[in-house]
Amino acid sequence: MLLRASELEPSDPSGSTSVFSFPWFRGRLAVVGGLGALSYAGSLLVEAQAAHETPVWISAHAAPVYPPDLSCCGVRCGVLPFVQVNDVRAAFEAAEICLRSEAFGFIVLDLPPAQELGESAPARLARIAERKGCAVVLLCDNAEHYPGGPLVSLRIAVERQPLKDGSFLLELQVLKDKHSFARTHTTRVLHGPDGLY
C-alpha cells in the first residue's frame, strides 16, 4: 500500500548532527562500502523517514535489495520508491534526475562492484547534493577503492560480524571526511530479519 508523506505517524526527530546519523550526510556525496553497508543504509533510511525526508533507492545491482528485509528493520517501504536500472551509468543519471527534481532528501545508489566510472558523474552529484542539501550515498563492496573522485565528501567502511545471540555487530570506520581529519569509529548491534543467520 502506498502512503503520502503527510500520512506518516508524527515523530520527534532529535535534529542531531552526530557522526554516523542521517543529518551528518545532508549536502554530501558519501561512499559506504563493506559487508554491512546494506544494514547501515537501512538504519539511515529509518532516520531519514523519521525526519520526514523522502528517500529513493536506485539500484544497478544484479541482486537488488529485498524490500521485506528493509521493512523488518523499520523502513516504511510504502513510501520508498525503488528504481532498478541496468548499469552504473544509468544509476547516476537517475540519481541526477532525482536530485534536480528537489523531490527527495535522501538518495541511495546500490551499485555493483566497481566498473568503468569517470569522475564527471559523481562530481555533478556532489555539487548538486551540496547545493540542494540532499544526502547521496553510494553503496558498494569496498568504500576505500570504489571510484568517485575528489568530490566524495565521506568514505565509510562497514563490517558486519555475527554474535552468539543471533544479532550482528556493525563496525563503522570513517576512511575520509572532508569536514574533519578524525578517522572516527563506532559500533552498533543490529538484529537481522527472521531467517538471517
Give the predicted TM-score (pTM) of the model. Answer: 0.84
Fold of 21-153: Rossmann fold (3.40.50)
Average pLDDT, the chain: 84
Q: What is the pLDDT of residue 137?
A: 97
CB neighbour list of residue 115: distance below 8 Å, 6 or more residues apart:
87, 88
With vertex at residue 13, the alpha carbon angle to CA 8 and CA 14, rounded to the nearest 5 degrees, is 180
At 15 the pLDDT is: 39
Instruction: Report residue 12's pLDDT band, with 50, 70 and 90 as the boundaries.
Output: very low
Report residue 105's pLDDT band, with 50, 70 and 90 as the boundaries. very high
What is the rounded CA–CA span in Å between residue 140 and residue 105? 20
The percent of residues above 90 in pLDDT, for the chain, comes to 55
Residues 185, 155 contacting (CB under 8 angstroms): no
Cell of 54: 523522502
pLDDT digits (tens, 9 = 90+) for 124-164: 999 999 999 999 999 998 888 877 778 899 999 999 888 88
pLDDT: which is higher, 185 or 47: 47
Percent of the chain whose predicted confidence (pLDDT) is above 70: 84
Report the alpha-carbon distance of residue 184 to residue 176 in Å, rounded.
9
pLDDT at 183: 65
Selected residue with higher pLDDT from 10 and 48: 48
When mean pLDDT is compared across 1-15, 23-37, 150-164, the lowest value belongs to 1-15
Give me the mean pLDDT over the 21-49 stretch. Answer: 94
Three-state SS at 84: strand
